[in-house]
Amino acid sequence: MVTVRIFLPPFLLPVFIRRGLSILETTMILVVLSVFITVATLNFGQIIKNARINTLKKDLVYMRKALYEFYHDRGRNASSLTELVTVSPYPYLKKIPSDPFTGQADWEVLKTAGAHSAAAWGSRFPENSSDKILDVRSSHPECRDF
């Protein structure tokens, strides 16, 4: 067995090498670590929620833009979100994005105009129709204002 000796004066060695840790020092270290872990966990949860909200906003802009382009190319509103994917020769969406909060493509389709769609359409806003899509929003209860 090989022993490695540190050639430092005793006052330069860390406290725990000289004499070990007491119960009080160990307890304080655990308390400080638990506070750091608690703060990190709370912040991590908020970071995940903010990322989902940003993804939701991006997907809504993406789908609203596709609805807007469909209307201006075809002269009518789309009757379903799948029509934006299946229309030929060039689909407006590659696929219907999934809602980041529900994990499914279960978007709430609005047949009347919402505030977001009115701002996007401007003065060329189409008339309300009972069978055509004018706007889309999340089906998750906390995210209906985006």
Separation CA 77–CA 136 (nearest Å): 13
Report pTM. Answer: 0.66
Q: Which residue has the tokens 């070990």?
A: 20
Length of the chain, please?
146
**Cα–Cα distance, 45 to 60 (Å, whole number):** 23
Residue 7 belongs to some domain of the structure: no
Can you list the residues of the chain whose pLDDT is less than 50?
Answer: none
**Structural domains counted in the chain:** 1
Q: Is residue 19 part of a domain?
A: no
What local confidence, expressed as pLDDT, does residue 132 receive? 82
Any domain includes 60: yes
Please return the burial class of 11, using the count of CB atoms within 10 Å of its CB with bins 0-12, 13-18 and 19+: exposed
Domain that residue 66 falls in = 30-143
Beta strand spans in the chain (E): 108-110, 135-137
Q: Yes or no: say if 60 and 136 are a contact pair by the CB < 8 Å rule.
A: yes
- Rg of the chain in Å (alpha carbons): 29
* Selection from 7, 135, 8, 11 nearest residue 63 by Cα: 135
Task: Examine residue 25 and state whether it is found in any structural domain, yes or no.
Answer: no
Q: Is residue 14 in some structural domain?
A: no
- Please answer whether residues 135 and 117 qualify as being in contact, where contact means their C-beta atoms are separated by less than 8 angstroms: yes
Residue 17 lies in a domain: no
pLDDT of residue 141: 82
Per-residue pLDDT tens over the stretch 27-36: 999 999 999 9
pLDDT of 61 reads 92
Residue 1 domain-assigned (yes or no): no
Query: Is 3 inside a domain boundary?
Result: no
